[in-house]
């Protein structure tokens, strides 16, 4: 058997097989309902409505997050988590600020005060709830901030932003 003549064939097969996941991933992301996009120079978690309109959820601004934050990674991870969460038929009524294991945490909620899905956590700080409140309020799109609810967690005010009234989520939910 002549191995020299097989090496170009093997190399071609390996290259073809390695390209399949890349093509599959780009195809999957183009059909996602929640995705990360560069919008006017800012990485933004977007929602695609059934009408095909893209509407912002989170604006990942470096001045709103700790210096060590990787904005691209945050945007991608949160977008994928939210997309999978909604695709599984889970409901989303609000986004809220939490402290989990001493870390500032932002969650998706089925109801205010019930962290159903941890979207991201931040580096430890002296005031985790205050930090997660500030970050959530800074990055959440203005159209979703209209119904802020305040609760007290161990004497500290925590925010939840009710989004059930947001028009684009009504349009979005019809897609599932």
Q: What is the pLDDT along the chain (176 residues), one digit of tens a residue?
A: 554 444 443 333 333 333 333 333 333 345 668 999 999 999 999 998 877 888 899 999 989 888 888 999 999 999 999 999 988 988 888 899 999 999 999 999 988 788 999 999 999 999 999 999 999 999 999 888 877 777 765 556 777 777 766 555 555 554 54
| Residue matched to tokens 């500030």 | 134
Q: Which residues of 110-130 are buried (b: 16+ CB within 10 A; e: fewer)?
A: eebeebbbebbbbeeeeebbb
pLDDT for 59: 96
Tell me the C-alpha to C-alpha distance, in Å, between residue 9 and each of 18, 54, 86. 14, 44, 43
Q: Do the strands 148-153 and 94-100 form a parallel or antiparallel pair, or are they unpaired?
A: unpaired
Global confidence as pTM: 0.74
Q: For position 78, what pLDDT does the model report?
A: 97
Residue 171 DSSP SS3: helix
pLDDT for the residue numbered 12: 36
Residue 107: per-residue pLDDT: 95
The domain limits of the chain are: 1-31, 33-173
Q: What does residue 2 show for φ and ψ, rounded to 5 degrees?
A: -95, 105
pLDDT of amino acid 166: 59
The rounded distance, in Å, linking the Cα atoms of 67 and 134 is 15
Look-up of token digits 């470096």: 62
> What's the pLDDT at 7?
41
Distance CA 48, CA 36 (A): 11
pLDDT of residue 43: 96
Residue 117: predicted pLDDT: 96
pLDDT of 6: 40
Residue 74 DSSP SS3: helix
């Amino acid at each position: 058997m002549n191995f020299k003549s097989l090496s170009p064939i093997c190399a071609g097969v390996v290259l073809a097989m390695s390209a399949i996941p890349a093509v599959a991933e780009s195809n999957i992301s183009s059909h996602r309902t929640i995705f990360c996009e560069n919008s006017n120079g800012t990485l933004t978690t977007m929602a695609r409505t059934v009408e095909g309109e893209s509407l912002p959820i989170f604006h990942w601004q470096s001045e709103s997050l700790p210096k060590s934050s990787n904005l691209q990674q945050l945007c991608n991870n949160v977008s994928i988590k939210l997309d999978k969460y909604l695709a599984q038929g889970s409901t989303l009524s609000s986004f809220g600020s939490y402290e989990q294991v001493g870390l500032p945490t932002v969650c998706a909620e089925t109801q205010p005060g019930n962290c159903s899905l941890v979207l991201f956590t931040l580096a430890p700080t002296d005031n985790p709830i205050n930090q997660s409140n500030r970050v959530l309020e800074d990055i959440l799109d203005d159209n979703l901030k209209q119904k802020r609810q305040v609760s007290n967690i161990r004497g500290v005010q925590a925010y939840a932003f009710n989004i059930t009234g947001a028009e684009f989520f009504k349009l979005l939910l019809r897609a599932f």
